[in-house]
């Protein structure tokens, strides 16, 4: 009886501590632990990192943080002039020379250009250590008002473009016997999100594809990390699809919005990469807590979402205070 009492007490204390840790954090508990006791960004120094969508937002900040860690960079996006600007900022960090940063303009929808882009990178660096699939585009419209063209475009850009580039990089990593694929998922890839079904569906698809790849690559020494960030400051809403291809959402984020700082998000992502974590959640509360509920108490989590989640998720996605 005494043993049972001690066991119950220990379990209560353990889960109480975990709850306190969770409520005090802006990332999942495993990543939080690695922040204190895991590898630092310095573990990535000297590695060749290819970042798509590197011309703005989280991709731009990732480039700056990887540069600060001493990584050699490949920067890709559709706008070469913006990539040059980001390259200049990375050089100003003091860790890299101009020769340590290669610009490779890339349109993810131009699948035929991907083999040539990979060849250019390998000719320049001879290796690709980390591929960061960051490029993509969001969407905002009601489910029934979203045209099938938008659904198709979201899938081709966010999913098939990412798959195509990865399929062209992967054989090189397999031949080397090492490598790391990083995929920018989203909170929407774990739970449903109202008025963002096309984007949500695409992120769920990425989750399935790359969870499968992780299992297949386990014996090849190739890591696969899926990053699931919540609302973060970027130009995501300006360029987001609406219900039609022709119209962008066009909303600028208010600096006073309750979103995660872009630099903070990028640092957490790089630390997840440095520790080769399979999946990480990066979000502020209450979104992070809802993710845990949906993961570990799915019926209760879905009940919460159905009864209170629509307003809460819309508020969180808009950046306003919950």
125 counts as catalytic: no
Q: pLDDT per residue over 71-118, tens digit each?
A: 999 999 999 999 999 999 999 987 899 999 999 999 999 999 999 999
pLDDT band for position 320 (50/70/90)?
very low
> Global pTM?
0.92
Q: What is the chain's length?
A: 322
Q: pLDDT per residue over 261-315, tens digit each?
A: 999 999 999 999 999 999 999 999 888 998 999 999 889 888 888 877 666 555 5
Could you state, in order of their start, the residue ranges of all structural domains in the chain? 39-317
Residues 6+ apart with CB under 8 A from 197: 139, 143, 146
Q: What is the DSSP string of 33-82?
A: HHHHHS--GGGGTT-EEEEESTTSHHHHHHHHHHHHTT-EEEEE-S-HHH
Predicted local confidence at residue 310, as pLDDT: 63
Contacts 24+ apart (CB under 8 A), 265-268: 265/58, 265/61, 265/229, 265/232, 266/58, 266/61, 266/62, 266/64, 266/65, 267/41, 267/65, 268/26, 268/27, 268/31, 268/35
Closest CA to 54 of 85, 98, 93, 96: 85
CATH no., domain 39-317: 3.40.50.720
CA–CA separation, 139 and 313 (whole Å):
15
Give the neighbor-by-neighbor strand order of the sheet with 48-52.
101-103, 72-76, 48-52, 130-133, 179-184, 222-229, 279-282
Selected catalytic residue, list 124, 125, 199, 209: 199
pLDDT band for position 3 (50/70/90)?
confident
């Amino acid at each position: 009886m005494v043993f049972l009492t001690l066991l119950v007490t220990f379990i209560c204390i353990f889960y109480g501590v975990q709850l306190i840790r969770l409520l005090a954090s802006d990332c999942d508990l495993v990543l939080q632990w690695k922040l204190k006791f895991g590898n630092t960004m310095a573990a990535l120094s000297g590695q060749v990192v290819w970042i798509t969508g590197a011309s703005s937002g989280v991709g731009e900040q990732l480039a700056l943080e990887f540069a600060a860690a001493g990584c050699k960079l490949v920067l890709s996006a559709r706008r070469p002039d913006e990539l040059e600007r980001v390259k200049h900022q990375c050089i100003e960090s003091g860790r890299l020379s101009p020769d340590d940063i290669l610009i490779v303009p890339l349109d993810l929808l131009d699948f035929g250009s991907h083999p040539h882009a990979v060849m250019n990178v390998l000719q320049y660096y001879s290796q690709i250590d980390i591929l960061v699939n960051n490029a993509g585009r969001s969407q905002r419209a009601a489910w029934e008002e979203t045209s099938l063209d938008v659904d198709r475009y979201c899938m081709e850009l966010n999913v098939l473009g990412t798959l195509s580039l990865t399929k062209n990089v992967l054989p090189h990593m397999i031949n080397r016997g090492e490598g790391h694929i990083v995929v920018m998922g989203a909170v929407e890839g774990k739970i449903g999100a109202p008025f963002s079904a096309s984007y949500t569906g695409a992120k769920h698809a990425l989750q399935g594809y790359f969870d499968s790849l992780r299992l297949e690559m386990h014996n090849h020494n190739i890591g696969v990390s899926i990053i699931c960030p919540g609302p973060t400051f970027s130009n995501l809403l300006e360029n987001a699809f609406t219900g039609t291809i022709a119209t962008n959402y066009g909303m600028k984020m208010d600096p006073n919005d309750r979103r995660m700082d872009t630099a903070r998000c990028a640092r957490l992502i790089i630390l997840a990469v440095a520790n080769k974590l399979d999946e990480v959640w990066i979000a502020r509360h209450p979104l992070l807590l809802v993710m845990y509920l949906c993961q570990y108490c799915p019926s209760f989590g879905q009940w919460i979402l159905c009864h209170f989640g629509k307003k809460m998720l819309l508020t969180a996605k808009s950046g306003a205070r919950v």
